[in-house]
């Protein structure tokens, strides 16, 4: 089956933004995709409740790379609350869509952000579950 990817997906896949890790990150999230077993790691730097830097690393496919790249762009400079509201649907829309069989890949970024925020709150001595939900 041939897939058609949007130009934006191809751009973020070929030139992913915010790849790497952050030394002394304030929150680190790691999640696995239940559908394909691929892994995503997300690093956050937080100041005054604002995400000042974010980086990711993934063993995921091209769609996972593109969605994470876009997701990190969308949450950089935003408050934690705003970042938690980012859905995989919004990320896909920002990329002009994904083929239906690749939708599950976009969930990795959303879950990795939640996992990293959860870790951030835990490090602050705050129970993350009422805020972030179960990760």
36 binds ligand FES (CB under 6 A): yes
Residue closer to ligand FES (CB basis): 38 or 82: 38
Planar angle of CA 62, 119, 58, nearest 5 degrees: 15
CB atoms within 10 A of CB 127: 10
Sole window of 2-10, 15-23, 31-39, 88-96 interacting with ligand FES (rule: CB under 6 A): 31-39
28 binds ligand FES (CB under 6 A): no
103 binds ligand FES (CB under 6 A): no
List, in order, residues 6 or more apart from 83 with CB less than 8 Å away: 51, 75, 113, 117
The answer to whether residues 115 and 25 touch, using CB atoms and an 8 Å cutoff, is no
60 binds ligand FES (CB under 6 A): yes
- What single-letter DSSP state applies at residue 26? S
Pick from 99, 34, 36, 115: nearest CA to 67: 99
Angstrom distance (rounded) from CA 135 to CA 128: 9
Residue closer to ligand FES (CB basis): 40 or 116: 40
Least distance (Å) between residue 33 CB and ligand FES: 5
109 binds ligand FES (CB under 6 A): no
Residue closer to ligand FES (CB basis): 29 or 128: 29
Residues near ligand FES, by CB under 6 A: 33, 36, 38, 60-61, 63-64, 105, 108
């Amino acid at each position: 089956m041939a897939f058609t990817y949007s130009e934006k997906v191809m751009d973020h896949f070929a030139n992913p933004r915010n790849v790497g890790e952050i030394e002394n990150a304030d929150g680190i999230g790691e999640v696995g995709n239940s559908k394909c077993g691929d892994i995503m790691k997300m690093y956050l730097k937080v100041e005054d409740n604002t995400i000042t830097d974010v980086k990711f690393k993934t063993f995921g496919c091209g769609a996972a790379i593109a969605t994470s790249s876009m997701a990190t762009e969308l949450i950089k400079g935003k408050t934690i609350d705003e970042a938690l509201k980012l859905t995989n649907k919004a990320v896909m829309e920002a990329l002009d869509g994904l083929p239906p069989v690749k939708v599950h890949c976009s969930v990795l970024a959303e879950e990795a952000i939640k996992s990293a925020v959860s870790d951030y709150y835990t490090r602050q001595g705050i129970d993350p579950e009422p805020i972030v939900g179960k990760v």
